[in-house]
Structure 1
């Protein structure tokens, strides 16, 4: 499992106690290869968001192991987890999480500046050019379209060259055109920049941009699809008794 960018072994996550106890994850073992784009899908309540939050160190597992590369993150203290998320993990959320008073450039650089780290100017120029942001770097979020704001969020996630970028419904607040644009950029970051992306989505079209789709149901793995099409994903979700609504 340690050859993966991120992986989990017999991962279990429960909420509540006794009769109210809910098993959000019920023994999930899964790995995500470096340099690949993977989508996680499942019916509402399947555990897909819980899995991503545990893998990213945003939530703790009840039992089991999580590895980021060769680092086991289960059992790390809060300060160690904070440092790991800051240095080795990137995030792209449904809400863009940009600071409204800062320019696009300042938003992109903010995490590194807060960490007291300098940025690689050549890498910054390359990332912003690939993402089509060069002419928008002096603009503040309210001066950018939704798609452009999400591009800024993607650039921010890429700048530290993280081990993995986690996307939590990254196109959920975008129209279809902007959503396709952002998904295309995530795929390019994998194919051209060697990034690893793990994305939770309820949208079969969004999932079709991935190299692989991991399916969850009732907190357990329920299959996977390689080189998926939207029709493949829709058919698989029907087999799980869902049209693909969000969890």
Structure 2
């Protein structure tokens, strides 16, 4: 995977899209308690692409799940825009995730009997939301799927399937897109293409993107990298390079 040229981070004068304050998550394992998150304060701004990194067991995925309303923190708060999502009922969380959050996972999560276009449009159809055809056409063009819309997932490469998943996540202009190891199942070339799409969506579509990754090269596509260790936010880097990220990770793992 080729490291991208360093670009200046976008201005962050607007209020943050996502805010976490004092976030903790504790698991009871029977004989002991595991503190997956131990008081995390973090913000994510519109039009910025942020990577979350840290050693294995540092709390990366737990933090993303709490930010996205997929898991409830033990204490602390998460706000999406002006909405406090901690404490929402299950039905309210379901609607919030459907209407205001986009997700891209390591698994593509496409329905095999639907074409690429149908997979992209499916969430809008489920929500009975009108599709902005101009935005649809623009996103399809950006992710390079215009000639593949009629193909079933089985006829698409892994990189193309993940492009479908990215387009699906971006279509309804969510307030934030969470990407959990989005290039984990891809070769280096396809992975680089997906990371470029995520980076471009932040800059060209003013999209907030938050990505969990273990890969320093993947993180170098982001505008900012925040580092966790033992459930705490311990460092961050703006305008990251793969070398800078690797150096910080080595220090955290030492």
Partner of 1:78: 90
Query: In the alignment, is residue 168 of structure 1 matched against residue 180 of structure 2?
Result: yes
Deviations 1:166-211 (A, max 9, x none): 0000000000000001001110101111111000000000000000
| Distance in 2 of aligned mates of 1:18 and 1:117 | 45
Task: Give the deviation of 1:231 after TM superposition.
Answer: 0.2
Partner of 2:138: 126
| Distance in 1 of aligned mates of 2:235 and 2:130 | 42
Deviations 1:205-238 (A, max 9, x none): 0000000000000000110000000000000001
Task: Give the deviation of 1:19 after TM superposition.
Answer: 3.8
Partner of 2:223: 211
| Distance in 1 of aligned mates of 2:153 and 2:137 | 19
Query: In the alignment, is residue 240 of structure 1 matched against residue 242 of structure 2?
Result: no
| Distance in 2 of aligned mates of 1:41 and 1:67 | 21
Q: 2:241 aligns with which of 229, 233, 241?
A: 229
Q: SS at 1:134's partner residue?
A: coil
Q: Map 1:58-137; keep pairs closer than 5 Å.
A: 58-137=70-149
| Distance in 1 of aligned mates of 2:60 and 2:16 | 19
Task: Give the deviation of 1:145 after TM superposition.
Answer: 0.7
Normalized against structure 1, the TM-score is what?
A: 0.96
Partner of 2:24: 12
Q: SS at 1:29's partner residue?
A: strand
> Which stretches in structure 2 are left out of the alignment for 5+ residues?
1-13
What is the aligned length? 241
Task: Give the deviation of 1:8 after TM superposition.
Answer: 0.3
> Which stretches in structure 1 are left out of the alignment for 5+ residues?
243-247
Deviations 1:43-86 (A, max 9, x none): 01000100000000100011000000111100000000000000
Deviations 1:123-180 (A, max 9, x none): 1111101111110000010101111100000000001100000000000000000000
Query: In the alignment, is residue 38 of structure 1 matched against residue 50 of structure 2?
Result: yes
| Distance in 1 of aligned mates of 2:64 and 2:18 | 10
Q: CA RMSD in A?
A: 1.1
The ranges of structure 1 where at least 4 consecutive aligned residues each deviate by more than 3 angstroms after the TM superposition are none
Q: SS at 1:222's partner residue?
A: strand
| Distance in 2 of aligned mates of 1:62 and 1:34 | 27
Task: Give the deviation of 1:17 after TM superposition.
Answer: 5.9
Normalized against structure 2, the TM-score is what?
A: 0.93
Deviations 1:65-121 (A, max 9, x none): 000011110000000000000000000000000000000000000011111112111
